[in-house]
Amino acid sequence: MARILIEMRAAIMRRSASGKRAIGGLVLALIVTALAVSTLLAGLVHYHYRGAGAAVVATLSFGWLVGWVSGPLLIGDDSTLRMDYFKLLPIPPRKLARAMLGAAFANVSLVFSLIAFSAVIALGAQSGAAAALIGVVAVLLELVLAVVASTVAIAVFGPVISSRRGRDFGTVLVALVITLLSLASGLVPLVAKRLTDGHSPALSDVVEILPSGWGAVAVDAAGRSDWGLTVRSLSGLVILIAVLVLIWPPLLARRLTMSARGGRTRARRAAGHAARNPILPSTPFGAVLGKELRLYSRSVLRSVMLMIAFLVGVMVAVIPALTGKDMVLPWGGLLFTVIAAACFTNFYGDDGTALWLTLVVPGAARADVRGRIWAWFLVVGPAGLLLTVVLTAVSGQTWAWPWVLAGEPAMVIGCAGLLALLGVLSVNGPAPDGGPAPMRVLKVHIALIALPVIVLFPAAALLLAGQAGHSTPLKWLAVPAGLAWAALLCWWSARAAERRLTTHAPEIFAKARV
Amino acid sequence: MPVDNTGDTPAMEFAGLFKQFGDTIAVDHIDLCVPRGSFFGLVGPNGAGKTTSLSMAVGLLRPDGGTVRIFGQDVWADPVAAKALIGVLPDGMALPDRLTGREVLLYLGLLRGMPREVVTERSDELLRVLELDHAESTAVVDYSTGMRKKITLATALLHNPRLLLLDEPFEAVDPVSAATIRTILQRFVASGGSVVFSSHVMALVERLCDQVAVIAKGKVLASGPLAEVRGEQSLEDAFVHIVGARTGGTEGLAWLAS
């Protein structure tokens, strides 16, 4: 039966491996190969500090095991062999459990993991043939552990993930992981240094106590002829695998008989009271502003984009400051604003088909454009300004004040208008799976560069001129000049967006529903 | 042109309405007249052009040719005047789904420039009558398909339009709610409103409508009072006859339940 499942999975993968997805898969495979080879190399390196090798390999193995367990959860309940397929089949759970576990071993990822986990063998080979042999056993056990743990994790967390609430949570998690990975370039050297110079024994202990580190510990112990520890570590792996294999069938049975319905979004009870005691004006503009502000606080896509903007903005500024480089700190707020602007360049496309409501209401364009502009301004503006002021003050870089004060307010005001115009000019509807379409992602990247250039060039020209001519008044002149240009830009683009939405609403709607 | 409140101007009128997607002609020069005060059923097989026609009638899809008039107002020349007169329930379209039903209604009412007290009062009634008041704190994203239909119907009724354009309003709605909706619509027509709705359920159209149009392959094949269109037979038989379809299912599958 495992063979049928493997064939079925292969058929599904063949169907879905077309065009863009194939290219994406190839890129992913290259990245993973690179990661696997560098893990292997980390096992070959000779470290000055004794024990550092085991700590480094244990840490990297931890990373790979986390990948195995979290990967299917992040991508979604195993999208090739969904458990729902088997719910109605008259197959005993125990037999299905064995088959599914067997099918799980027919996984290409095992090749990459074999390369990566071989770091343990390489580590052992540094101390001799016996340790290398222990390494081979450890690698095999770790691979089995990876597959079994991954399968069990789907059964445990799958129902949570496949509910809508869970998918929301998954989206946030993916965004968080990608954000952290993109910032890892700053953090990895820090962790690596701690591990290799032996200054942080606590960190080494933690990575070696975790099951992912047991292989490295066994090999390291074999190298020191501490056979007791070697046997204990390897037995630990065997016992862990056995426990997971034993709990898998009942878990699967439970999983197959439960509904995937998750928690519900509870809009706050206060909503009813707020409707009766309004803060916002009871006008079309107030209606749009109210709706938008609610969506900023409740929509997962919007919260994730704001979170990424905040994390990247703050961490890019703060991480260098940890090592004493304060030059970047004042720019955190501006970076947050630019990313928050670039992420929201798809006002109307992100509505999808919900945009029909705006189209059937006569004369709604003006209120709609203005409401969206103000909502973005109120969500991003105060936070960006606060970040800018606080980070600049903390940094003690007094030279930065005219720069950031000319940049931040202008950026918020200018972008607010431009976002509405971009939103009606370039509309990217959601992808079939509900996520952002590739063109929308590309637009974000272009906007990251284009928006600051368009909004900030007058202020930047004055600042650079002031810097070149050592003229402080010229630099401070950039503040009102930047504001004036941004205000003009905002006013003009808001009007243009309004006109476009009035005349081209059906065309915008057609693009948003694709 | 001011809205004609007394005369015989039809509630809705298509003249030479045309829409093409690539090589496919979705709506092929349709002429259709919906008399005011009528309960008008639009029937046709899947892909006949019903939704495309209705989308062009409410301003969601720009026609490639022809005109749509709502009480004499050209939807595409004077959209503001025409849109003020209609309530729309499109099929399969999203709502701002992180809002609760009440919040959606409040948003739409205010967007239409209605006073807040009126919006609040009508929302209370609509939610109660459509039995959505027990889901007061549930966001639309967690609504069932039937509940979504009902809240969308509420958005169509909120501003008390003169003409309702409803695309498959009864799909996925439970029998009790369907009865409620039928009663609401019948009351609406009895008090002078007009309703156009599309449906696959012939029995429903037969029961509710006094006027009916059969659309297939982008053309109106038959249109007029129900009795005229169906003649002596049931609407379902008349429909199969008019559309020229052949009902399958009699050949093959010999092994089934043998």
Cα A81 to chain centroid distance, Å, stands at 25
In the predicted model, what is the mean pLDDT of residues A479-495? 96
To the nearest whole number, what is the mean pLDDT of chain A? 83
How many other C-beta atoms lie within 10 A of the C-beta of residue A167?
17
> pLDDT by residue (tens digit) across A184-222?
666 666 677 777 776 667 777 887 888 888 999 999 898
CA distance A460 to A481: 10
Kindly state whether residue A268 falls inside one of the protein's structural domains.
Answer: no
Dihedral sign computed on CA atoms, order A111, A117, A118, A121: negative
Is B79 at the interface with chain A, CB within 8 A? Answer: yes
Q: How confident is the model at residue B98 (pLDDT cuts 50, 70, 90)?
A: confident
Mutate to test the interface with A, among B74, B106, B110, B118 (most CBs of A within 10 A): B110
Same domain, A354 and A397: yes
A201 and A248 together in one domain = yes
Measured CA to CA, the distance from residue A376 to residue A412 in angstroms comes to: 9
Assigned token pair, A273 = 């009271």
Show residues of chain B in contact with A291, CB under 8 Å: 96, 99, 103, 107
Q: Looking at chain B, which residue has its C-alpha nearest residue A287? A: B107
Tell me, what's the pLDDT at B28? 92
- Confidence (pLDDT) at B254: 82
Tens digits of per-residue pLDDT, A319-336?
Answer: 777 767 788 899 999 999
User: CA A457 to CA A418: how far, in whole Å?
Assistant: 15
Same domain membership, residue A102 and residue A16:
yes
CA A297 to chain CA centroid, nearest Å: 19
Residue B145 banded pLDDT, cuts 50, 70, 90:
confident
In terms of pLDDT, which residue wins out, A348 or A160?
A348
Band of the pLDDT at A259, cuts 50, 70, 90?
low
Q: Are residues A80 and A217 located together in one domain of the fold?
A: yes
**Model pLDDT, residue A182:** 63
Give me the mean pLDDT over the A287-298 stretch: 92
* Beta carbons within 8 Å of A303's beta carbon, 6+ residues apart: A172, A296, A297
For residue B196, the model assigns a pLDDT of 95
Of the pLDDT bands very low, low, confident and very high (cuts 50, 70, 90), residue B3 is: low
Residue B49 pLDDT more than 70? yes
pLDDT at B104 over 90: yes
**Considering only the top CATH level, what class is B12-243?**
alpha beta
Q: How many angstroms away from the CA of B135 is the closest CA of chain A?
A: 10
Question: What's the mean pLDDT in B96-100?
Answer: 88
Could you tell me if A221 and A368 lie in one domain? no
Give DSSP secondary structure letters for A322-342: HTT-GGGGGGHHHHHHHHHHH
How many angstroms separate the CA atoms of A482 and A477, rounded? 8
Q: Under an 8 A CB cutoff, do A357 and B62 touch?
A: no
A413 inside domain: yes
Amino acid at A469: G
Domain assignment of residue A274, yes or no: no
pLDDT band at A270 (very low <50, low <70, confident <90, very high): very low
CB-CB neighbors (< 8 A) of B58 in chain A: 359-360
Per-residue model confidence (pLDDT) at position A30: 86
- In this structure, are A372 and A249 located in the same domain? no
For residue A261, being part of any structural domain is answered with no
Split into its structural domains, chain A has a count of: 2
pLDDT at residue A356 tops 90: yes
Chain A residue with Cα closest to B62: A506
Q: Is A434 exposed, middle or buried (0-12, 13-18, 19+ CB in 10 A)?
A: exposed
A111-145 confidence digits (pLDDT tens): 888 999 999 999 888 888 889 999 999 999 999 99
Distance between CA atoms of A97 and A393, rounded to whole angstroms? 60
Mean pLDDT (chain B, rounded): 89
In sequence order, the 6+-apart residues with CB closer than 8 A to the CB of B132 are B101, B126, B147, B150, B151, B154
* ipTM for the predicted complex: 0.89
The total number of residues shown for chain B amounts to: 258
Q: Are residues A227 and A368 in the same domain?
A: no
CB contact under 8 A, A287 and B110: yes
pLDDT at A286 over 80: yes
Q: Which residue has the tokens 């059964």?
A: A155
Residues 6+ apart with CB under 8 A from A42: A56, A57, A60, A119
Indicate the Cα dihedral angle A117, A121, A123, A125, nearest 10°. Answer: -170
Chain A interface includes B64 (CB < 8 A): no
In a domain, A267, yes or no: no
Query: Looking at A444-509, which runs of residues are DSSP E strands?
Result: none
Query: Closest Cα of chain A to B230: distance in Å?
Result: 34
Cα–Cα distance measured from residue A49 to residue A24, given in angstroms and rounded to the nearest whole number: 40
pLDDT score at A263: 46
Same domain, A93 and A232: yes
User: What is the pLDDT, as a whole number, of residue A272?
Assistant: 47
Q: How far apart (Å, rounded) are the C-alpha atoms in residues A216 and A236?
A: 13
Q: Where are the alpha helices (DSSP H) in A197-213?
A: 201-209
Cβ–Cβ contacts within 10 Å for residue A22, how many? Answer: 11
Q: What's the gap in Å between the CA of A443 and the closest CA on chain B?
A: 23
Provide the pLDDT for residue A170.
61
Least confident range of A69-73, A378-382, A500-504, B108-112: A69-73
Average pLDDT value for residue range B53-57:
93
The two structure tokens encoding residue A43: 């096992």
DSSP state of B16: E
Give the integer Cα–Cα distance in Å for B221 and B13: 16
Residue A477 CB neighbour total at 10 angstroms: 18
Reply yes or no on whether the pLDDT at A498 is more than 90: yes
Interface test with B, best of A293, A348, A360, A501 (most B CBs within 10 A): A360
* pLDDT of res. B32: 93
The three-state secondary structure class of B195 is: strand
Domain hosting residue A93, numbered range: 2-256
CA geometry: angle at A341 spanning A420 and A164, to 5°? 90
CA B206 to chain centre: 15
**Does A234 lie in the same domain as A304?**
no
**A496 and A456: one domain?**
yes
Query: pLDDT digit string (tens) for A275-285?
Result: 455 788 889 99
Q: Which residue has the higher pLDDT, B218 or A264?
A: B218
**β-sheet with B73-74: strand ranges across:** B24-34, B12-21, B65-70, B73-74
Is 80 exceeded by the pLDDT of residue A48? no
Question: A176: buried, middle or exposed (CB in 10 Å: 19+, 13-18, 0-12)?
Answer: middle
How far, in Å, CA of A187 to CA of B116, rounded?
53
Which of A450-459, B176-185, B236-245 comes out lowest in average pLDDT?
B236-245
Closest CB to A288: pick one of B100, B111, B137: B111
Q: Which residues pair with B196 in a beta bridge?
A: B40, B165
* Residues from A in contact with B at Cβ < 8 Å: 164, 264-269, 271-272, 275-276, 278, 282-284, 286-288, 290-291, 294-295, 298-299, 351-354, 356-364, 367-368, 505-507, 509-510, 513
Residue A107 is assigned to a structural domain of this protein: yes
Collapsed DSSP state (helix, strand, coil) of residue B42: strand
The whole-angstrom separation of Cα A190 and Cα A324 is 13
A98 and A245, same domain (yes or no): yes
Q: How far is CA B35 from its chain centroid? A: 15
- For residues A296 and A306, the answer to whether their CB atoms sit within 8 Å is yes
pLDDT digits (tens, 9 = 90+) for B235-245: 888 888 888 86
A153 and A301 fall within a common domain: no
Q: What proportion of chain A, given as a percentage, has pLDDT over 70?
A: 83
What integer pLDDT is reported at residue A77 of this predicted model? 47
Nearest CA-CA partner of A318 in A177, A173, A183: A183
pLDDT at A461 over 80: yes
- The conformation of residue B13, written as its DSSP 8-state character, comes to E
- Listed in order, strand segments (DSSP E) in A43-197 are none
